[in-house]
Amino acid sequence: MKTLLYKQLRLVCHPMTPVFCLFGAMLLIPNYPYSVTFFYVTLGLFFTFLNMREQKDIYYSALLPIRKRDTVRAAVVFAVLVEVLSAVITALFCLLSAKLQPGKDNAVGMDANLMLLGAGLVLYGVFNLVFFISLYRSGYKVGAAYLKANIAMWPLMLAAEALPHFPGLLWLNRVDAQANLRQLPILLFGVAVFAVLTLLAYRRAAQLYEKVDL
């Protein structure tokens, strides 16, 4: 697995993919729909997978002493690495935002808190599920897979941004320690959804890719 991941980083990774991970810094914008930072990370992944197709990685991987499903595993593990990295960076900017902008109230959507991180992980899980299953059905239709993943993600993003503004749910928008503690189950829910959907994505995508004639 280490070798496969090394291959992904050295040959496949598009330079913009790690750059988009830094977009967690957008949490310092006073009023902004912060879930868009997660969208940018998926855009970075799209660039990498487009790059992978254009560089004909399929034919390179086919010559290596690996099973066909290992190609899918490398792709999913790479995406997880990028998504977890971006989540960690976003978490750091949540802390920084609380420190630098006390009392900030994001009028546009979710605030920089654990609710945001939980929602981000759910979005990544949904993205992985739709994107990888769609991509490895053909092995090359990256654009169609990305479009489908976005169609699944955007309604969830809008719902997550709107949720904290409903009466009775205003605690989801708070950034104080007490509110964050109350939001902890949402983060844990996000971690679980991310893990389960990503695992399902790998299993189904690998199964589908085995049947594809290259």
CA 151 to chain centre: 14
In the complex, least distance from residue 122 CB atom to other proteins, rounded to whole angstroms: 34
Q: Report the residue from 1, 65, 102, 168 that binds other proteins according to the rule CB under 8 A.
A: 65
Q: Report the residue from 6, 138, 151, 159 that binds other proteins according to the rule CB under 8 A.
A: 6
In the complex, least distance from residue 60 CB atom to other proteins, rounded to whole angstroms: 4
Applying CB under 8 A, does 166 fall inside the site for other proteins? no
Cα–Cα distance, 178 to 76 (Å, whole number): 36
Q: Take residue 107 and report the two structure tokens written for it.
A: 């009028």
DSSP-assigned states of every residue in 139-180:
SS-HHHHHHHHHHHHHHHHHHHHHGGGSTT-GGGG--SHHHH
Residues 174-213, interacting with other proteins (CB under 8 A)? 211, 213
| Number of residues in the chain | 214
Applying CB under 8 A, does 15 fall inside the site for other proteins? no
Q: At residue 203, what are phi and psi to the nearest 5 degrees?
A: -60, -50
In the complex, least distance from residue 85 CB atom to other proteins, rounded to whole angstroms: 21
CB 98 within 8 A of CB 112: yes
Q: Take residue 116 and report the two structure tokens written for it.
A: 């945001």
In the complex, least distance from residue 3 CB atom to other proteins, rounded to whole angstroms: 5
Cβ proximity to other proteins: between 13 and 130 the closer is 13
In the complex, least distance from residue 181 CB atom to other proteins, rounded to whole angstroms: 45
Residues 43-62, interacting with other proteins (CB under 8 A)? 55-57, 59-60, 62
Encoded amino acid at 35, one letter: S
Q: Report the residue from 64, 144, 188, 195 that binds other proteins according to the rule CB under 8 A.
A: 64
Cβ proximity to other proteins: between 63 and 177 the closer is 63
CB 8 within 8 A of CB 75: yes
Q: Take residue 160 and report the two structure tokens written for it.
A: 């997550």
| Binding interface with other proteins (CB under 8 A) | 3, 6-7, 10-11, 55-57, 59-60, 62-68, 211, 213-214
